[in-house]
Chains A and B, each alone.
Chain A
Amino acid sequence: MNVLALDFPPVSHLFEWPDIFFNGTFYAINKTVLIYFAAVILTSIIFLVAGRKQTSMVPAGMQHVAESGINFIEESVVMETIGPEGKKFMPFLTTMFFFILFSNIFEVIPGIQFPANSRMAVPITLALVVWVIYNVVGIKSQGLGGYLKNSLFPPGVPKALYLIVTPIELVSTFVVRPFSLAIRLWANMVAGHLLLVTFAVLSAALWDATYIGAAAPFAMLVMMTGFEILVSVLQAFIFTILTAVYIGGSLHPAH
């Protein structure tokens, strides 16, 4: 694809990867899948190594990473959104945070440079899992009738407004939420990857043409790489905290 005299690869070529194993089957393994595997391995190692030895009073290394992660999820996510009764969701939320974080962070790892969550598969899968969880939690804690009543007819709203509010709540809570959750993560990762590719292609093209002209786009590439590290962490946090907010909303209906 030629954009402003630059040989820019087609967008689909930036996100679709050829099969590596089981070519052409519905269980084919490509680069995206390998990144998911790496996220599982990295998270497991951090927590298994950190939990293996419990003698150190001063956490260091992996123990520090794992404990900081748990503290962060507990203090900044669970206690802020659900409260003490949300602690039973800690393993799920911690797993989700680290899995998304490592799937994202490969965006800036040299040689790999691809955020696995710029593919829709995992964001939509996780969002649907979250959808099931917060609905089940809501039904379990309030009963089906109570959950539907509290979700669709929020208390404190003038009755006439239910004509407008109830359809909006229906669509928002039961239809849009999982997709907004998934698309937020996916779109941020797509946009970040596109930005990095754009500046990388621009740097390469200007280096070929003028050498010195590559300085500005390369500086931007370095800056954007730093920025994408922040985005990777932030999106993992946002996905996790929204999950906690939805679960908290199901556990504690608005009074």
Chain B
Amino acid sequence: MSKLRNRLLVAPLLAVLGLVALAGPASASGESVGGCMAELFTEAIEEAHGDVAHAAHDVAVQSALEKCFEAPSPIIPEVNEIIWGGSAFLILFVIMAKKGFPAVKGAMDARADKIRDDLDAADQAKTDAQSVKTDYEAQLADAKAESSRIINEARVTADQLKADLAVQAEASIAEMRERAAADVESSRQQAIADLRTEVASIALGAAERVVQSSLNAEVHGNLIDAYIDEVAENNG
């Protein structure tokens, strides 16, 4: 393929080189005025059978020679240039219409279609991604709401539990305090009773000893009672 391409690229260079070589310098021109006059005058002399003077004075010859000064009208097209120029355009048109134009235009259209398809696909992908994103965002929002709800519930439950426990604890403490107070009172009464008994016993013992050695039992009895009352007051 690259060989063909190189050949195609070389072709215009060869064409241009050929054009330059064959066409000659840019200043080349057609027939000169002098050449035209020489040719016409030579013909006139031949027609006058070599009589140069006759040819030179012939009005028809002079008129013909004057035409050599007239440049051909540049606006009148040359037949050969019409034929070749028209054919060249026709050939180029056939090449372009059959091959060149459809190939290039086809490639352009195919590329435009591909770009359009790619853009459509990209749009579709973007829409899909947007939809997935929306779904994820919705799911995330749901999850957040759920977690928030669970936390709130837990917090309420915990508060409730805390309050219940506090009430329970206070009731237990009160009950324990009452029980302890009752125990203390009961122990105190018992202790007083025990002490009274003990003191009475001691006092009785002491009284016995006093009685054994005393003169007046009545006096000693009063002393014992007074002693017991005093002990009771001190322990009460």
> A residues 18-51 with Cβ under 8 Å of B?
18-20, 22, 25-51
Give the number of residue pairs across the A-B interface with Cβ within 8 Å: 213
Q: Which of B142-185 contact A (CB under 8 A)?
A: none
A36: nearest chain-B partner, CB-CB: B88
> Given that A49-B9, A51-B100 are known contacts, is A90 also in contact with B20, CB under 8 Å in the complex?
no
A102-119: CB near B (< 8 Å → 1, else 0) gives: 000000010111101001
Most buried by A among B27, B75, B81, B105: B81
B contact residues, total (Cβ < 8 Å): 59
Shortest Cβ distance from A27 into chain B, in angstroms?
6
- The residues of A that contact B84 with a CB separation of less than 8 Å are 27, 29, 33, 36-37
Count the A residues whose beta carbon is within 8 Å of the partner chain — how many? Answer: 74
Q: How far is the CA of A12 from the CA of B15 in the complex (A)?
A: 26
A125 touches B89 (CB 8 A): yes
Q: What B residues does A17 contact at CB under 8 A?
A: 23, 28-30
B22 at the binding interface (Cβ < 8 Å): yes
**Are A25 and B97 neighbours in the complex by a CB distance under 8 Å?**
no
Query: Cβ of A49: which chain B residues have Cβ within 8 Å of it?
Result: 5, 8-9
Q: Which of B11, B23, B30, B111 contacts A13 (CB 8 A)?
A: B30
Separation of A16 and B74 alpha carbons in the complex (Å): 8
Candidates A22, A53, A90; contact of B1 at CB < 8 Å:
A53
Q: Does B221 contact A (CB under 8 A)?
A: no
Q: Which residues of B contact A19 (CB under 8 A)?
A: 80
> Contact between B11 and A41 (Cβ–Cβ < 8 Å)?
yes
Instruction: Let me know if B101 and A121 touch, CB within 8 A.
Output: no
A-B CB contact pairs (8 Å), 7 listed:
A26-B83, A40-B91, A50-B103, A54-B107, A66-B100, A90-B105, A122-B89
Contacts from B to A (Cβ < 8 Å): 1, 4-5, 8-9, 11-12, 15-16, 18-20, 22-31, 33, 71-72, 74-86, 88-89, 91-93, 95-97, 99-108, 110-111, 114
